[in-house]
A and B are shown apart, each in its own frame.
Chain A
Amino acid sequence: EVQLVESGGGLVQPGGSLRLSCAASGFSFSSYSMTWVRQAPGKGLEWISYISSTSSTIYYADSVKGRFTLSRDNAKNSLYLQMNSLRAEDTAVYYCARGQGVWGKGTTVTVSS
């Protein structure tokens, strides 16, 4: 079964850091590009980052550029989102996704003092 499982969410103070992980299983992870999408409470979906299968190409939304870093470890079938200088507006459920059709269940990040 194709599966994505996010972890690493939690409560963090403004200005703090958090590292999200996405564990992939059931498919050849190293062959696929991956993305992160987030959803603030009661709001719509926001695409935030993309990484190609070999990590050669990475894109970020302007809202996270310079603060978030996306990486992957194909040997571990894992995707990582390092989030620094967190702000209240980063509070959201964070989803990793493969293409358009495979999504994890999400992990919740709350930025609050």
Chain B
Amino acid sequence: DIQMTQSPSTLSASVGDRVTITCRASQSVGSWLAWYQQKPGKAPKLLIYQASSLESGVPSRFSGSGSGTGFTLTISSLQPDDFATYYCQQYYGYPYTFGQGTKLEIK
């Protein structure tokens, strides 16, 4: 199985900050990488697919980059609605594994 490792596990930041979350795969997944946002009690929401493509309706302050084994999710200027937990997922090979999540907290 492909292992996905996110860092950091928790991130404290303020409104207006630029933040970056990293996801590393145990083997190459090409660009088959998605990023999700999840709020308590809600289903995950797709933000980024194929490593860098912005899902329709997602604000442009979200961006993704990387390929192979290293990926990043960047939020250019944090908004109050962005405080949530973020997950990466590889969909290169089954099982489609997720990272352990990064909780973005208000500083």
| Interface positions of A (Cβ within 8 A of B) | 35, 37, 44-47, 50, 59, 61-62, 95, 100-101, 103-106
Chain B residues within 8 Å of A46, by CB: 98
| Interface positions of B (Cβ within 8 A of A) | 1, 34, 36, 38, 42-46, 49, 55, 87, 89, 91, 94-101
In the complex the two chains form, is B87's CB within 8 Å of A44's CB?
yes
In the complex the two chains form, is A47's CB within 8 Å of B55's CB?
no
In the complex the two chains form, is B100's CB within 8 Å of A44's CB?
yes
Give Cα A103–Cα B101 distance, bound, in whole angstroms.
18
**Contact among A44, A59, A100, A104 with B49 in the assembled complex (CB-CB below 8 Å):** A100
Tally A-B pairs: CB < 8 A.
Answer: 45
23 sample A-B contacts, Cβ–Cβ < 8 Å, listed by A number: A35-B96, A37-B44, A44-B99, A44-B100, A45-B38, A45-B98, A47-B89, A47-B96, A47-B98, A50-B94, A59-B94, A61-B95, A62-B95, A100-B36, A100-B46, A100-B89, A101-B49, A101-B55, A103-B43, A103-B44, A103-B45, A105-B42, A106-B43
In the complex the two chains form, is B95's CB within 8 Å of A45's CB?
no
In the complex the two chains form, is A104's CB within 8 Å of B95's CB?
no
Chain A residues within 8 Å of B89, by CB: 45, 47, 100
Chain B residues within 8 Å of A44, by CB: 87, 98-101
Smallest Cβ distance from A105 to chain B, in angstroms? 6
Chain A residues within 8 Å of B97, by CB: 47
Q: If the complex has contacts A45-B89, A100-B34, A100-B89, are A105 and B43 also in contact, measured as CB distance less than 8 A?
A: yes
Chain A residues within 8 Å of B1, by CB: 62
Give Cα A39–Cα B100 distance, bound, in whole angstroms.
11
Give Cα A105–Cα B46 distance, bound, in whole angstroms.
14
Smallest Cβ distance from A94 to chain B, in angstroms? 11
**Contact among A35, A45, A50 with B87 in the assembled complex (CB-CB below 8 Å):** A45
Chain B residues within 8 Å of A62, by CB: 1, 95
In the complex the two chains form, is A59's CB within 8 Å of B34's CB?
no
Give Cα A78–Cα B85 distance, bound, in whole angstroms.
30
